[in-house]
């Protein structure tokens, strides 16, 4: 979530207030030591709020965020597109804030990966269109699936650990059983016939999976301007 001023005339109390109340009602204590140290008691609700908490998350991650997140904007604007002009302007400011916060993370957390398209949608990774068809255009056109593969060092030609892991999760047509995929993963295949070879493949995979430039962030201007999502979103509206 992104902490923004409320839309003029809206009766929505805001995600910041909701988060502050949840922290109080549930007496949430597991807020992360570095985040707690960064805020006074009255502001420690921020440790439950994505914009603020992500700077303190040390577990390596692949963060996905729609710049025109339809869940947040649907609540903030109390409606869905098409929006009146003043609401469109608000949504564009929201997108700019989202992009700015992501760029801060890209600078400060270079070991992590970011994926943000300028689309009006929410939680699309659970479906085929969101994971395999919609694209982010900058710095190069990529689906969420392809970006994740790049982060992990996988490719369609991978014949060692990358390919074996892909088989393990069912991404390869040759993965007929868990046993066969696992055998490759631990180096019991013709590609990794000894512990030394298997160890070398693990080292190679880790070096590929720690590139400092893993960020796909659309930079276009205009409501839901992302070129990689507009066509499919229009189809969704028509069906």
pLDDT digits (tens, 9 = 90+) for 201-232: 444 444 444 444 689 999 999 999 999 986 44
Give residue limits of the domains in the chain. 7-58, 60-155+211-238
Q: What are the Cα distances from residue 96, in Å, to 68, 84, 102, 191, 222?
A: 9, 19, 10, 47, 10
The more confidently predicted of residues 59 and 96 is 96
pTM (predicted TM-score): 0.74
Mean pLDDT to the nearest integer, 131-143? 92
pLDDT tens, residue by residue, 150-159: 998 886 544 3
Show the beta-strand stretches assigned E in the chain: 62-64, 113-116, 135-136, 142-143, 215-217
Structure tokens at 40: 């006074």
What percent of the chain is helix, strand and coil (3-state, nearest 5)?
Answer: 50, 5, 45
Using CA atoms, how far apart are residues 67 and 120, in angstroms rounded to an integer? 7
Residue 161, pLDDT > 50, answer no
| More confident position, 73 or 196 | 73
- Cα 107 to its chain centre, rounded Å, is 16
Q: How far apart are CA 103 and CA 98, in angstroms?
A: 9
Question: What pLDDT score does 153 carry?
Answer: 87
- Mean pLDDT for the chain? 80
pLDDT-above-90 percentage for the chain: 62
CA 67 vs CA 143, 177, 202, 239: distances in Å: 16, 40, 35, 24
Place of tokens 């060692």: 160
Which pLDDT belongs to residue 109?
A: 56
């Amino acid at each position: 979530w992104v902490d923004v001023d409320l839309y003029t005339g809206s009766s929505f109390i805001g995600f910041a207030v909701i988060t502050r109340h949840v922290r109080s009602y549930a007496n949430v204590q597991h807020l992360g030591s570095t985040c707690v140290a960064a805020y006074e008691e009255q502001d420690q609700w921020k440790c439950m709020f994505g914009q603020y908490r992500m700077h303190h998350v040390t577990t390596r991650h692949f963060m996905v965020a729609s710049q025109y997140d339809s869940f947040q904007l649907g609540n903030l604007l109390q409606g869905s597109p098409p929006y009146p002009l003043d609401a469109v302007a608000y949504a564009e400011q929201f997108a700019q804030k989202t992009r700015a916060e992501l760029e801060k993370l890209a600078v400060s957390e270079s070991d992590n990966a970011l994926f943000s398209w300028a689309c009006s949608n929410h939680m699309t990774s659970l479906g085929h269109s969101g994971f395999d068809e919609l694209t982010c255009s900058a710095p190069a056109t990529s689906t969420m699936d392809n970006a994740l593969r790049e982060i992990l060092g996988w490719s369609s030609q991978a014949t060692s650990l990358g390919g074996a892991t892909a088989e393990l999760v069912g991404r390869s047509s040759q993965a007929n059983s868990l046993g066969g995929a696992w055998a490759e993963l631990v180096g019991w295949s013709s590609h990794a016939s000894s512990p030394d070879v298997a160890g070398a493949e693990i080292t190679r995979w880790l070096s590929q999976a720690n590139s400092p430039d893993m960020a796909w962030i659309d930079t276009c201007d205009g409501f839901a301007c992302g070129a990689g999502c507009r066509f499919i979103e229009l189809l969704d509206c028509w069906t």
